Amino acid sequence: MEKILADLFGDENLTDNLKFITETLKLKSVKNYFEKDFWKDHSKKYQGSQIYLKKI
């Protein structure tokens, strides 16, 4: 996640961008969210929609 943010918005903005994401999504850690909770949240939100693809 940090590499993507740094590539997209520059290294000089990385700390501010991580802080913004963490505060906006009310997370303890962006890294932990994507490692542990993202797929569960994503599946719950989009299950049953026409664009939903099951994880194989």
**C-alpha to C-alpha distances, 38 to 19, 27, 45, 51, nearest whole angstrom:** 18, 11, 11, 17
Is the pLDDT score of 56 beyond 90? no
* Residue % of the chain over a pLDDT of 70: 88
pTM comes to 0.60
CA pair distance 54, 14, nearest whole angstrom: 32
Which among 12-16, 42-46, 49-53 has the top mean pLDDT?
12-16
In the three-class reduction of DSSP (H, G, I as helix; E, B as strand; rest coil), residue 25 is classed as coil
In the three-class reduction of DSSP (H, G, I as helix; E, B as strand; rest coil), residue 15 is classed as helix
Structure tokens at 45: 């939100």
Is the pLDDT score of 31 beyond 90? no
What pLDDT does 1 receive? Answer: 78
